[in-house]
Amino acid sequence: MAKYVSKLARREFLKVSAAVGALGSSGLINRAFAAGDTVNFMAWSAAVDLVKSHVAEFEKSIGIDVDYANAPWSNYRDNIITKFVGAAPLDMMWVSDAWLPEFADAGWIAPINKFDNLMKYNDEAEDFCNDSMTYKGMQYGLTYYTDFMAFLYDEDALKKAGIDAPPATWDEVTEQCLKIKSAGISEYPLMLALANESWLMNFLAAMVYSHGGRFTDEKGNAAMQSPTEGAVAALQWVVDAVHKHKIVSPACVETGELTGLKAFQSGNHAFALEPKYRMRPINDPKQSQIAGRCKQVLMPSSNGGAHNTVGWMRFHGMSSATAANQAHAERTAKLIEWFGGRANGAYKFQKYLFTDIGAGFGVKPLFNDKDVQASYNSYADVEMIKAQQALALKSDVVTPWYGEWQETNASSWQAAIVGKVSPQDAMTKAGDKWDNLKQEFS
């Protein structure tokens, strides 16, 4: 009897297992990614409602279905690479300019040059944006948004310290920080967020470009180690700020951009390097202790630098698998145009992205839009923004080996900042790594 019960139980177990297995492979619970005529659109989880509303309007106006999905920015790149490698249905996606060489060389994304309805927008886009989307002579998308690293200050902190005008050079930054520090207004007047995260390169590039330096020369060889034209002066300034003047916290190497933003919003610092779009939440009384007091000034200069800063952009790209299917590619190109170009005759997405959130746009006609001008002037000075944007430079380290090099570069900067190596040695190490990688990849 026991044997019978035992066998029965085993049979029942097998039956249940088989049923579960069959259910798993059946269409009842099989919800694969949308395929066929539907355009699969992948983005990072930003401005989600705006994207949804713009997609809904596209479906209504153009009559093409869109399957929109998103993933957190911090893991977006890994996510999308897995989908490329796994050949998951993916037609249009947001791409960072920093990934372009890697994605293009891997054959994951396709040029859009053959789509006249997309290329016609180049005349109205900032040259910097078009350049950032171009790799080996081919253009890979239309702009989603663009921004630059800005130098911000707390107007009240300067007034309390008896400072009449914000700094124009890095030497003046040092002087004013020391004055603010000695007045007891802030222990570390300048906030630098130099934790090893995705933002780090933008902070470093802003420091280097404004010091008149470059990471690479025109031929793409390492220039960062040059004592006069490279990154050494910028790094030396940071090292002095931390150790000699004590105006930047030694914890800057562990401070991420978001943490730094919140620290600046709390009134802990008088100056900060922040992406320009952060001005909006910093001047929002619901989110910030220094609302209304945050102003922007041109990035301080030094060593012949011309108040340059670094600019970056993100774009709407098309997968190579999609480009291979003409009909589907055309459907996808329509969606790219809807987001990156004009939608029903207007740059609606870029405008709403800006008026809703403060994210910068890469299409020049929007500067003439009255809503845009009013929005900018409600928390910033539109003329200052235009002036600084004109001085923004494209990153000079966007290459297929960027990720690998940045590991060495980031640790070199951090080692110098914590005092383990000299700035010159740190930049020499980063430069050597760059040249080695360049040789390997070529």
Partner 1 sequence: MTLQSTKFSVPSEKWKYKSKRSERTRSAVIFIASIFLLIYVLAPVGWLLSSSFQSEAEIVSVPPHWLPHEPTMENFNAIFFQEFEEVTYETRRKVDPAAGGYIPSTAKDLLPSMWNSFIISVAVVILNLVVGVPAAYAMAKIRFWGRQASVYTILTTRVIPDIALVVPFFLVIKNLGLLDHVMSLIITYLAITVPFTVFILVSYFESLPDELDKAARVDGCSRLQTLIQVFLPLARPSLVAVMLFAFLTSWNEFLLALMFTQTIASQTLPIIVASFTSDFTISFSFINAAGVVAIIPPVILALFFERYIVSGLTAGAVKG
Residues 386-425 that bind partner 1 (CB under 8 A): none
**Residue 256 phi, psi (nearest 5):** -80, 170
Q: Which of 133, 126, 60, 49 is nearest to 97 (CA)?
A: 133
| Per CB under 8 A, 5 contacts partner 1 | yes
CB atoms within 10 A of CB 124: 15
Rounded-to-integer distance, Cα 223 and Cα 432, Å: 10
Q: According to CB under 8 A, which one of 182, 286, 370, 440 is a site residue for partner 1? A: 286
Residue 375 or 388 with smaller CB distance to partner 1: 375
The interface region with partner 1, picked from 205-213, 241-249, 287-295, 303-311 by CB under 8 A, is 287-295
| Per CB under 8 A, 380 contacts partner 1 | no
Q: According to CB under 8 A, which one of 59, 62, 65, 71 is a site residue for partner 1? A: 71
How many chain residues are in contact with partner 1, going by CB under 8 A?
A: 65
Q: According to CB under 8 A, which one of 59, 64, 79, 436 is a site residue for partner 1? A: 79
Q: Answer positive or negative: Cα dihedral of 87, 88, 93, 98.
A: negative
Rounded-to-integer distance, Cα 286 and Cα 292, Å: 11
The interface region with partner 1, picked from 46-54, 93-101, 207-215, 430-438 by CB under 8 A, is 46-54
Residue 58 or 271 with smaller CB distance to partner 1: 58
Q: 188: exposed, middle or buried (C-beta count within 10 Å: 0-12, 13-18, 19+)?
A: buried
- CB distance 155 to 293 below 8 Å: yes
The interface region with partner 1, picked from 105-113, 158-166, 257-265, 386-394 by CB under 8 A, is 257-265
Min dist CB 292 to partner 1, Å, is 12
Q: 197: exposed, middle or buried (C-beta count within 10 Å: 0-12, 13-18, 19+)?
A: middle
Rounded-to-integer distance, Cα 291 and Cα 86, Å: 47
Rounded-to-integer distance, Cα 95 and Cα 141, Å: 9
Min dist CB 185 to partner 1, Å, is 12
- CB distance 92 to 336 below 8 Å: yes
Min dist CB 76 to partner 1, Å, is 8
The interface region with partner 1, picked from 98-106, 119-127, 259-267, 361-369 by CB under 8 A, is 259-267
Residues 93-112 that bind partner 1 (CB under 8 A): none
Residue 213 or 317 with smaller CB distance to partner 1: 317
Residue 101 or 256 with smaller CB distance to partner 1: 256
Question: Which positions ≥6 away from 213 have C-beta within 8 Å?
Answer: 223, 224, 226, 229, 230, 231, 232, 233, 234, 303, 305
The interface region with partner 1, picked from 38-46, 115-123, 154-162, 199-207 by CB under 8 A, is 38-46
Q: 193: exposed, middle or buried (C-beta count within 10 Å: 0-12, 13-18, 19+)?
A: buried
- CB distance 29 to 56 below 8 Å: no
Q: According to CB under 8 A, which one of 11, 61, 78, 171 is a site residue for partner 1? A: 78
| Per CB under 8 A, 28 contacts partner 1 | no
Residues 313-372 that bind partner 1 (CB under 8 A): 352, 355-359
The interface region with partner 1, picked from 77-85, 134-142, 156-164, 383-391 by CB under 8 A, is 77-85
Residue 32 or 327 with smaller CB distance to partner 1: 32
Min dist CB 287 to partner 1, Å, is 4
Looking at 271-398, list the stretches that DSSP marks H as alpha helix, in order from N- to C-terminal side.
279-282, 320-323, 326-340, 348-357, 370-379, 382-390
Q: Which of 243, 314, 229 is nearest to 275 (CA)?
A: 314
Structure tokens given for 141: 């998308």
The interface region with partner 1, picked from 74-82, 102-110, 174-182, 385-393 by CB under 8 A, is 74-82
Task: Output DSSP code: residue 166.
Answer: -
| Per CB under 8 A, 48 contacts partner 1 | yes
| Per CB under 8 A, 262 contacts partner 1 | yes
Rounded-to-integer distance, Cα 130 and Cα 117, Å: 15
Binding site for partner 1 (CB under 8 A): 2-3, 5-6, 9-10, 13, 24-25, 29-33, 42, 44-50, 52-54, 56-57, 69-76, 78-79, 82-83, 85-88, 258, 262, 265-268, 277, 280-281, 284-289, 291, 352, 355-359
